[in-house]
Amino acid sequence: MDAGRIDRYVGTKWDDDIVPQLVEYIRIPNKSPMFDADWEQHGYMADAVKLMESWARAQDIPGMQVEVVQLEGRTPLIFIEIPAAHGGSNDDCVLLYGHLDKQPEMSGWDDDLGPWKPVLRDGKLYGRGGADDGYAIFGSLAAVMALQEQQVPHARCVVLIEACEESGSYDLPAYVDHLAERIGQPSLVVCLDSGCGNYEQLWCTTSLRGLAGGNLTVEVLEEGVHSGDASGVVPSSFRLLRQLLSRIEDEQTGRVLIEGLHAQIPPERLEQARRAAEVLDTAIYDKFPLVPGLRPMADDLTELVLNRTWRPALSVTGMGGIPPLESAGNVLRPRTAVKLSMRLPPTVDGKAAGDLLQAELLRDPPNGARVTVAMEKAATGWNAPALAPWLAQAIDAASQEFFGRPAMYMGEGGSIPFMGMLGEKFPGAQFMITGVLGPHSNAHGPNEFLHIDMGKKVTASVARVIAEHQLASQRGETTGAAVAPDSGTRHGDHGCC
């Protein structure tokens, strides 16, 4: 494989074709079903699917089959099958995954930016969903086309693009079962929905946190009453809610107090965190738009990496029952509600964690208040299997060729439910989990952007790995036992990308 030729092909494809498509994709407010209950009637999801389907069908990939599959009552899924080419094997398979649904708008966008307003500036494409994860289908097919352009052999490839990842991928198991025979048994899974510590090298995700969350509501009155009359007699729902939150989180340190939500951190993950902290330095927290004077939650950089990858953490992501400041009167409110998002260590069971969280919040309601918990999410995280030598070498070669620096390995703080699901269904598969969500890219928040050059280099790297997969398959290595490589800058102990 001529790496320079791959680099040039991918760069041109992105500039001339992929970026214009992503511009149009960003304009579509195709919010995930959790954030748009009437998504089917609104038609935005169908618009995004049509855009991607039409583009895929127009690509010159011999024998490619593109199909939109929609089971009754479920979000659609784009299924693409590409036969092996130029001497590659149809008996082996590479599965490439991404999603097309988006997070909601969020406030705080700069005046000249917006979630559905694509803006190209300084090598970045601003707008919701380009990096998370609209580019996946384009990058996946471009990687295959780059190989075919110079007749490099590759195995059969299957591309799955789902439409409810941001809602927890609850439809995906049904599709994986429905398409099981057509998917086959992939020996390599490539996911393009993860992050990167910087834009200077290829970053490989070794673990993902799980998630348990839902709505906690505290009610004290049937209706609001005059605060001057009731305060001091009727307990404040907000104060009682604070008491409940203090059961599950130390308000001084942020440490989660439910021991069942913690997990032992494997030694190799500790070493990977140390190496990542060494490379990233203060970029671990500098990448966030901190207000002046704010200190991170720990002084030790390695501890910060572990906090966001292997420790539980609570966020309050929404509130109800509280009027905006401009319309808040002297009223003791009847209720306070919050949306809780509890990130879980990769090896903690999501369902069991949700049960523990719910039980702790519901026991002994303070002052006899009416306390309810409506759980919405319970997803188990994922810890990567040991990395096969051929994949470790392929990933590092890709990073050296297209970035000029060695690959890095680190866990991610987010959740990709699909990974755990595939790990169970395909226990012999290797995983390359990578992405373009780096410093300041701000996925899910305001001013989200796609770093275009990073997208190009990740695409080229995927091409290199797919090519090396075919060579490994010919040697019989794609079904062999994996080993735990060293934890230096070349690669981590257990890996994926």
pLDDT, tens digit (0-9, with 9 covering 90-100), for 416-447: 877 888 888 888 899 999 999 999 999 999 99
DSSP calls for 406-437: --EEEEESS--HHHHHHHHH-TT-EEEE---B
Is residue 83 situated within a structural domain? yes
Instruction: Quote the pLDDT of residue 386.
Output: 87
Instruction: Quote the pLDDT of residue 487.
Output: 35
Q: What is the CATH number of the domain that holds 453?
A: 3.40.630.10
Is residue 487 situated within a structural domain? no
Alpha helical stretches, state H, 214-347: 227-230, 237-248, 267-280, 283-286, 301-307
Instruction: Quote the pLDDT of residue 421.
Output: 81
101-140 pLDDT, tens digit per residue, is 999 999 999 999 999 999 999 999 999 999 999 999 999 9
143-154 pLDDT, tens digit per residue, is 999 999 999 999
Q: What is the CATH number of the domain that holds 369?
A: 3.30.70.360
Nearest alpha carbon to residue 445 among 204, 110, 210: 110
- The C-alpha angle 178, 183, 188, rounded to 5 degrees, equals 135
Strands 382-383 and 188-191: unpaired
Instruction: Quote the pLDDT of residue 72.
Output: 97
Q: Work out the pLDDT band at 495, boundaries 50, 70, 90.
A: very low
Instruction: Quote the pLDDT of residue 172.
Output: 93
At residue 485, what is the residue type? P
> Is residue 148 domain-shared with residue 218, that is, in the same domain?
no
> Is residue 76 domain-shared with residue 167, that is, in the same domain?
yes
Nearest alpha carbon to residue 381 among 212, 208, 260: 208
Q: Which pTM does this prediction carry?
A: 0.85
Computed over every residue of the chain, the mean pLDDT equals: 94
Q: Work out the pLDDT band at 414, boundaries 50, 70, 90.
A: confident
Distance, in Å, from the CA atom of 18 to the CA atom of 213, rounded to the nearest integer, reads: 36
Instruction: Quote the pLDDT of residue 78.
Output: 98
Torsion of CA 284, 287, 291, 295, to 10 degrees: 10
> Is residue 127 domain-shared with residue 151, that is, in the same domain?
yes
When pLDDT is averaged across residues 197-224 and rounded to a whole number, the result is: 96
> Is residue 204 domain-shared with residue 164, that is, in the same domain?
yes
Is residue 424 situated within a structural domain? yes
Q: Is 396 left (phi over 0), alpha (psi -120 to 50) or beta?
A: alpha
Burial environment of residue 126 by CB neighbours within 10 A (0 to 12, 13 to 18, 19 or more): buried
Is 191 in contact with 431 (CB distance < 8 Å)? Answer: yes
Give the Å distances, CA to CA, from 204 to 9, 24, 142, 469, 490: 24, 29, 20, 17, 11
Taking the CB of residue 358, how many other CB atoms lie within 10 A of it?
A: 18
> Is residue 366 domain-shared with residue 442, that is, in the same domain?
no
Q: Work out the pLDDT band at 73, boundaries 50, 70, 90.
A: very high
What domain range is 366 assigned to?
210-260+310-378
> Is residue 231 domain-shared with residue 322, that is, in the same domain?
yes
Nearest alpha carbon to residue 147 among 96, 207, 202: 96
341-389 pLDDT, tens digit per residue, is 999 999 999 999 999 999 999 999 999 999 999 999 888 999 998 899 9
Instruction: Quote the pLDDT of residue 377.
Output: 86
Is residue 132 situated within a structural domain? yes
Please check the confidence at residue 480 and state whether its pLDDT lies above 70: no
> Is residue 256 domain-shared with residue 336, that is, in the same domain?
yes
Nearest alpha carbon to residue 440 among 162, 103, 110: 110
Distance, in Å, from the CA atom of 374 to the CA atom of 210, rounded to the nearest integer, reads: 18
Return the percentage of the chain with pLDDT > 70, whole number.
Answer: 96
Instruction: Quote the pLDDT of residue 483.
Output: 38
When pLDDT is averaged across residues 386-394 and rounded to a whole number, the result is: 94
Domain count, the chain: 2
> Is residue 371 domain-shared with residue 466, that is, in the same domain?
no
Q: Work out the pLDDT band at 486, boundaries 50, 70, 90.
A: very low
Instruction: Quote the pLDDT of residue 216.
Output: 98
> Is residue 359 domain-shared with residue 443, that is, in the same domain?
no
When pLDDT is averaged across residues 180-197 and rounded to a whole number, the result is: 95
Q: Work out the pLDDT band at 484, boundaries 50, 70, 90.
A: very low
Higher-scoring residue by pLDDT: 415, 159: 159
Q: Work out the pLDDT band at 493, boundaries 50, 70, 90.
A: very low
> Is residue 102 domain-shared with residue 201, that is, in the same domain?
yes
> Is residue 361 domain-shared with residue 435, that is, in the same domain?
no
Instruction: Quote the pLDDT of residue 23.
Output: 98
14-51 pLDDT, tens digit per residue, is 999 999 999 999 999 999 999 999 999 999 999 999 99
Taking the CB of residue 228, how many other CB atoms lie within 10 A of it?
A: 10
> Is residue 53 domain-shared with residue 86, that is, in the same domain?
yes
Is residue 337 situated within a structural domain? yes
Is residue 125 situated within a structural domain? yes
DSSP calls for 315-372: EEEEEES---GGG--SEE-SEEEEEEEEEE-TTS-HHHHHHHHHHHHHSS-GGG-EEE
Is residue 84 situated within a structural domain? yes
Distance, in Å, from the CA atom of 226 to the CA atom of 380, rounded to the nearest integer, reads: 45
Is residue 288 situated within a structural domain? no
Lowest-pLDDT range, 3-12, 132-141, 472-481? 472-481
Is 447 in contact with 380 (CB distance < 8 Å)? Answer: no
Instruction: Quote the pLDDT of residue 420.
Output: 81
Please check the confidence at residue 394 and state whether its pLDDT lies above 70: yes
Select from 337, 360, 378 the last residue of a domain.
378
As beta bridge partners, residue 341 has 213, 315
Is 434 in contact with 194 (CB distance < 8 Å)? Answer: yes
